[in-house]
Amino acid sequence: MKRRDALRSMGALFAAAGLAKVGAVELKSVPSETGLTREMLPSPVMSGGQGNVFKGQARATLTAVFDRLIPQDQLGPSASEAGCVDFLDAQMNGPYGESKDLYLDQPLRADESQLMGLTISLRTRRDYTLAGLAFIDRHARARHSKPFAELEGEQMDAVLSDLEAGKLDWEGKGSSNRLFEFLLMSVREGYFSDPLYGGNRGMVGWKLVGFPGARYDYRQYIDRRGQDLGLEPISLIPVS
Amino acid sequence: MAIQRKKADVVIVGLGWAGSLMAEELTRAGLEVVAIDRGPWLDTSTDTPPAVDPDELRWTIRRELLLQPGDYTLTFRNQSSQTAVPTRELKAFQMGKSVGGAGFHWAGMAWRFSEWDFRVRSATLERYGASKLKGLEQVQDWGITYADLEPFYDRFERIAGISGVAGNINGNLQPGGNPFEGPRSREFPTPALKESQLMQMYRDSTAQMGLHPFYIPVAHVGAAYVNPLGVSMAPCTYCGYCMFHGCGNYSKSSPQACVIPALMRRKNFTLITQGYVTKIHKAEDGKTATGVSYFDEQGREVIQPADIVALCSFTYDNARLMMISQIGQQYDPVTQTGTLGRAYNYQTCSGAHVWFEDQTLNPFIGAGGLGIQVDDYNGDNFDHSQHDFIGGAGLLTVSREGMPIGRSGLLPPGTPRWGKGFKQNYQDNYQNYGIIFGQGTSMPTRDAYLSLDPNYKDRWGTPLLRMTFDWNQNDRNMARFIEQRAVDIGKKMGAKHVQTFNSAAKSWSPYDENSNHTQGGMIMGEDPLTSAVNTYLQSWDAHNVFVVGASAFPTNAGYNPTSTVGALAIRTARAIHEKYQHNPGSLV
């Protein structure tokens, strides 16, 4: 098996994963240059998103999928209205989408998925998502002669249910279940993470369940067991 | 040509809990200590303040504080007949990636093991006879007792400011504490925190069942506290952002919060960050080590000579570095000879998710280890004569399940996970969910071990560690029993829905993340034929090499490992400066 790239510096790895700190140094005391650094602060997403990753048909399919997973109803906006498409676009445009954290070296043995008990893919998350959305769209066209985004709601749900049940084969038998779970996880992340990442606009996800957000001290509330505390959520950085 | 550094008295590989506690003891005794950590410097107040820490996506979901498989991973298989494959995505393996190691992002449950846990073999033979150990021939005693370790548990708890309620002080049972715990010399250093509604329900229901609920000892300090090293801590605020997170309150005990501030002020302590240790150098006679090599971030090899080498780098690299450096003999499951990699063990988890009706649990109020446990089904606290297993589990509930991304996946079986009805369902259940978690013992067997992978290498060309592990029948039987006890408790609590889980119901994979508690492979013991290190965690094959961490556990208890790692580290360091440095050689 090939030796891993020895030139891949540790500094670059830490920067990619958000921990670029005081460099490799000999420390005789607490380093004086430490402080709250850019790398430790979260990166907010611009309102409206950048559309860097999901464009055209991919964006239309993703929007349609997300809005079937979390539809608009009397309890609140749909996933895309809450910013979940922008959220995932920003996520996929950075280190997460590039899968810097994953070990994606070859080879991928034929029995690896069986041994690990789930479908293993060596694609980056960005490629995986784009290819997965294209697969969903192809499947819709084959079944209904229409792009996924133009199907009736019930037809979309039927496709998603088949994906969820692992009835569709893409990267091997049953692989559609892992794709479905990935998309479901992604839309939940968007709907319920801090609004500064682009989703959960107006903290609609937190208001839905009564989560108070980025609060850091509940000492005055813990004794009020079993009571509705009526706490308004707060976010790390207010966004409109 | 490698860069040569000045020789140190002791080089410590890895500055997590084990390494920092070792360094504290050794520098206080006047030894010149150099610690090398593969991660960067990271601190509580500057890096995870309240403006950064309460962020579920980044820390709990993306796990940005953890070592990533793209940087370090290991290969895995269930059986020796299979070809191992790499763990590509970080799930069960939850190593730290900075100074402080996993001690920075841990949840904080701070247990002592029970008296039984140190002598599983002897105690089982005494109570049940040899037939009870059929298939468990590799189960062996630790070579030290709970009483031997008690003073060092006490020291760890003082340094970390552990919050708790004593159950047994010098043999006298204490009201409200765990009646099954081993005798402790005094009360915990900080008092219990307040209890949530879920904890109250669990406490009341288990007590009504005749069980013995108690407050879980935890590394979230219960009151303002100054530890023996002069470091002060502040009371926990129940923010709930603990596991996988830092702590911006000086409330969660970590090497950074409790030990490193004192360490960095000592002239005889040096820390090298982002140094990736790849090898221990052996002396020409092959019987001692002369130091270690590491790569700095420019890719240069640096040699750090030392009189004593202490590996404190988590279970996996402790074993891997000994194997790469060929100090000792690799374990062979066919002949059952060799000790490097022998007796890998884990944590056998089962239990139940429960959902109530019309509760207001306010799950966002909590802390990583804020919970209630019963030990009635742990260890050998119940009669196993009629059971087809030994061991058991602590059964607990914990108030830390309030973060909304994770909770959106915890909905009653058969209810909408997406689409129409999802929002209503989640809204109805957010205030109504609880967990009953059985954290169970794990026994070693012939076929569970660590070795070097022949195929996959890291970026320095060094073989990855290979894990061969699957659940043994004893632990599967135990997990099934515990699963049912969790159901009993859930029903008693009035749950409307009970959904069991059992990690041992199928073959294990590192993509299952019930526990990161990973033990053994460099186990301690009294016999050099069946243990890699002696009872002072000193290598049988090189007397100036010490291998410190959960890698030394011959068996695993139904508890979290950290306090036992800390106690063993302090005990080892004390033996080094009190005895070994004056008369280098075997400590036993």
B417 vs B513: which has the higher pLDDT? B417
Q: What is the pLDDT of residue A38?
A: 77
CA B124, distance to chain mean position in Å, is: 24
Residues of B in contact with A41 (CB under 8 A): 51-52
pLDDT tens for each residue of B151-195: 999 999 999 999 999 999 999 999 999 999 999 999 999 999 999
Residue A20 has pLDDT above 50, yes or no: no
Q: What is the pLDDT of residue A16?
A: 42
pLDDT tens for each residue of B561-572: 999 999 999 999
- Residue from B45, B61, B66, B88 to probe the interface with A (highest A Cβ count within 10 Å): B88
- Give the mean pLDDT of B463-477: 98
**How far is residue B179's CA from residue B177's CA, in Å, rounded to a whole number?**
6
Q: What is the pLDDT of residue A106?
A: 83
pLDDT tens for each residue of A192-227: 999 999 999 999 999 999 999 999 999 999 999 999
**pLDDT above 70 coverage of chain A, percent:** 87
Domain span holding position B405: 169-248+348-441+471-506
The neighbour count for residue B172, using CB atoms within 10 Å, is 9
* Paired strand residues for B270: B34
Q: What is the pLDDT of residue A31?
A: 81
Q: Chain B, 465-484: which have a CB under 8 Å from a chain A CB?
A: none
Contact criterion met (CB < 8 Å) for A225 and B82 = no
* Paired strand residues for B292: B280, B304
3-state secondary structure of B3: strand
Contact criterion met (CB < 8 Å) for A103 and B55 = no
List helix spans (H) across B450-521. 473-492
Residues of A in contact with B39 (CB under 8 A): 19
**How far is residue B155's CA from residue B189's CA, in Å, rounded to a whole number?**
10
Axis-axis angle for helices A56-69, A84-92 (nearest 10): 130
CA nearest to A13, candidates B96, B92, B67:
B67
**How far is residue A106's CA from residue B15's CA, in Å, rounded to a whole number?**
32
Residue B277 has pLDDT above 70, yes or no: yes
Q: Is residue B398 part of a domain?
A: yes
* Paired strand residues for B502: B350
For β-strands B545-547 and B276-282, DSSP reports them as unpaired
Q: pTM for the complete prediction?
A: 0.95
Contacts 24+ apart (CB under 8 A), B325-331: B325/B279, B325/B280, B325/B281, B325/B282, B325/B289, B326/B282, B327/B280, B327/B282, B327/B289, B327/B539, B327/B541, B327/B542, B327/B545, B328/B532, B328/B539, B328/B540, B328/B541, B329/B541, B330/B451, B330/B452, B331/B449, B331/B450, B331/B451
Surface-to-core class of residue B89, CB atoms within 10 Å of its CB (0-12 exposed, 13-18 middle, 19+ buried): buried
CA B473, distance to chain mean position in Å, is: 23
Q: Is residue B220 part of a domain?
A: yes
CB proximity B414 to A under 8 Å? no
Residue A15 has pLDDT above 80, yes or no: no
Give me the number of domains chain B comprises: 1
- Residue from A225, A229, A234, A237 to probe the interface with B (highest B Cβ count within 10 Å): A225
Q: What is the pLDDT of residue A19?
A: 52
pLDDT tens for each residue of B538-578: 999 999 999 999 999 999 999 999 999 999 999 999 999 99
pLDDT tens for each residue of A82-103: 999 999 999 999 999 999 899 9
Q: Is residue B310 part of a domain?
A: no
Residue A239 has pLDDT above 50, yes or no: no
Per the prediction, chain B carries an average pLDDT of 97
Q: What is the pLDDT of residue A47?
A: 62
pLDDT tens for each residue of B29-78: 999 999 999 999 999 988 999 989 999 999 999 999 999 998 899 999 99
Residues of B in contact with A213 (CB under 8 A): 54
Q: Is residue B206 part of a domain?
A: yes
The whole-angstrom distance between A45's CA and the closest CA on chain B is 14
pLDDT tens for each residue of A127-162: 999 999 999 999 999 999 999 999 999 999 999 999
Of B47, B359, B418, Cβ closest to residue A69: B418
- Give the mean pLDDT of B20-37: 98
What's the CA angle centered on B326, arms B320 and B330, to 5 degrees? 70
Q: Is residue B456 part of a domain?
A: no
Token representation of residue B97: 């990636």
Q: Is residue B417 part of a domain?
A: yes
Surface-to-core class of residue A44, CB atoms within 10 Å of its CB (0-12 exposed, 13-18 middle, 19+ buried): middle
Please tell me whether the interface predicted TM-score (ipTM) of this complex is above 0.90.
yes
Distances, alpha carbon B183 to alpha carbons A4, A153, A179, B113, B374, in Å = 51, 64, 52, 11, 17
Token representation of residue A136: 């969903």
Distances, alpha carbon B249 to alpha carbons A70, B160, B196, in Å = 36, 14, 20
Q: Is residue B424 part of a domain?
A: yes
Whether A199 and A189 have beta carbons less than 8 Å apart is answered as yes
pLDDT tens for each residue of A110-135: 899 989 988 898 999 999 999 999 99
Q: What is the pLDDT of residue B12?
A: 98
B34's torsion region: left (phi>0), alpha (psi -120 to 50) or beta? beta
- Give the mean pLDDT of B276-287: 95
Contact criterion met (CB < 8 Å) for B68 and A70 = no
